[in-house]
Amino acid sequence: MTYDFILLGGGAAGLNLALALVRSPLREKSILIVEREAKDRNDRTWCFWTDVPSPFDGIARRVWPRLAFASDSFSRTWELHPFRYVMLRGLDFYDYARGELAKHNVTFLRGDGEVEDGEERATVRAGGQIHQAEWVFDSRIRPQDVTPRPPYNYLKQHFLGWEVETGRPLFDPETVTLFDLRTPQRGGVTFFYTLPFTPTRALVEYTLFSAELLPLEEYESALRAHLDELGAGEYRLLETERGVIPMTDQPFPRRLGRRILAIGTRGGRVKPSTGYAFARIQRDSERIVASLVRRGHPFDLPHDSIRHRLHDAVMLEILAQEPALGRSILSAIFAKNPIQRVLKFLDDRSAWWEDLPIMTAHAPGPFLRAIRRRFLNRR
């Protein structure tokens, strides 16, 4: 059982890479995708902002032209142009990807693979069979990959979301609320995130950036209280969504062997200070394919920007050591900068001169303390 490429993991990273491969000069190559889950239900939601056409525009659940921010000290709604905020349902993405890949030499296998590196090929044992490929791409995150080790910080973005339908118009279907920080801060940045579909239907998430998870009933209690404050009255619960995203400035090795490359979360494609990953995974997939076409191997990838890695490390240091400051820092950044500049900064696409007004929006004390703790004291 020999393939050109084996992808371990059939989620966002594996399917994005497979789609990039079949849309490239490598489209005739054989691909095996090994995934332990059926991926036959809507198990998650991905969102991203973009100012260019996306290959997934046709399956987007919703696209918003406006974005809102709210805290005790500052509230505002912006027109995002030329950006737009896009939402994909997990099941829609899985179905779309499987449909596109079925037109090519792509095989799916249910199971969990064990991979062994080799000189000419890597070997994967999965489904009671032995498979080999010239290149293996592994997106499966393991507990040891995010085991805390100094001096790096380890937080979690954890959330519970309810898709609700209310009996009265409550939401602006043209505006996504990225941060609503008008809620008690529970050991870290705590906020509500709202994706409205109609005036009476929205996905509302209670989200925290902190080290410890909460009991389920505390997320549920917070969501009930928030909907009451909004004046929802009677509402119907349609779907729930719960997740935990690792947030760490720990570097993740990309090359796992002579024939193995880490992708997705395991390859460090989650933005450390925000938890966003989908757009970063898309760009990474295109770069991997470009390396394969140009160099004959997948390892000729650009290094992450040192400047943006520094920004992430400093912000995580503040969130980990002085979490009460998170709300005021976010409020200052959004209050004193155009939203387009903020989105470019959060997406690691900003130039250094665009970073300056963002990094100086808040008093410098917390940032200087974070730099001293993180880089000078090497605690």
Residue 290 corresponds to which tokens in the numbers above? 């470009």
pLDDT at 374: 85
Helix (H) or strand (E) holding 1: none
Residue 338 corresponds to which tokens in the numbers above? 């155009």
Kindly tell me the burial class for residue 244, based on how many C-beta atoms sit within 10 Å of its own C-beta (0-12, 13-18, 19 or more): exposed
Q: Which residues contact 95 (CB under 8 A, 6 or more apart)?
A: none
pLDDT at 377: 66
- Can you tell me which residue has the tokens 């959060």? 346
Q: Which residues contact 178 (CB under 8 A, 6 or more apart)?
A: 67, 68, 69, 85, 193
- pLDDT tens sequence across 352-364: 999 999 999 999 9
pLDDT at 1: 87
In angstroms, the CA 32 to CA 131 distance is 9
pLDDT at 262: 98
Mean pLDDT, the chain cut into blocks of 10 residues (379 residues total): 96 98 98 95 94 94 98 96 97 97 97 94 94 97 85 95 96 98 95 98 98 96 97 95 94 96 96 94 97 98 93 95 95 97 95 94 94 77
Maximum alpha-carbon separation in the chain: 64
In angstroms, the CA 147 to CA 138 distance is 18
pLDDT at 291: 98
For residues 218 and 158, is the Cβ–Cβ distance under 8 A?
A: no
